[in-house]
């Protein structure tokens, strides 16, 4: 079953909130730094993506990712 961009966006938003930020802080333009999301959180996000979608993300898949929107786009490109 195809995964929509909106599905990935909701998944990533929910994951980001689980890392600590308030839901109203999480949006596509929010920087990972402003949300206090660190490299360990990104490793956890990669594991969540693998569990949910069966897609293995490599560390270089997150290279240059500094906003929630860029993370969503990178993940969506892998799961589609």
Its CATH architecture, for the domain 5-79, is Orthogonal Bundle (1.10)
pTM summary value: 0.92
Name the residue ranges covered by the structural domains of the chain.
5-79
Average pLDDT score, the chain: 94
> Residue 8: is its pLDDT beyond 90?
yes
**What are the two backbone dihedrals, phi and then psi, of residue 67, each rounded to the nearest 5 degrees?**
-130, 160
Confidence of residue 1 (pLDDT cuts 50, 70, 90): low
45-76 pLDDT per residue, tens = 999 999 999 999 988 898 999 999 999 999 99
C-alpha angle 48-62-31 in degrees, rounded to nearest 5 = 90
């Amino acid at each position: 079953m195809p995964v929509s961009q909106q599905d990935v966006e909701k998944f990533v938003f929910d994951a980001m909130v689980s890392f600590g930020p308030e839901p109203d802080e999480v949006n596509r333009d929010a920087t990972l730094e402003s949300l206090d999301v660190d490299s360990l959180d990104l490793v956890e996000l990669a594991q969540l993506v693998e569990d949910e979608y069966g897609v293995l993300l490599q560390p270089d898949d997150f290279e240059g990712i500094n906003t929630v929107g860029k993370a969503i786009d990178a993940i969506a490109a892998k799961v589609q």
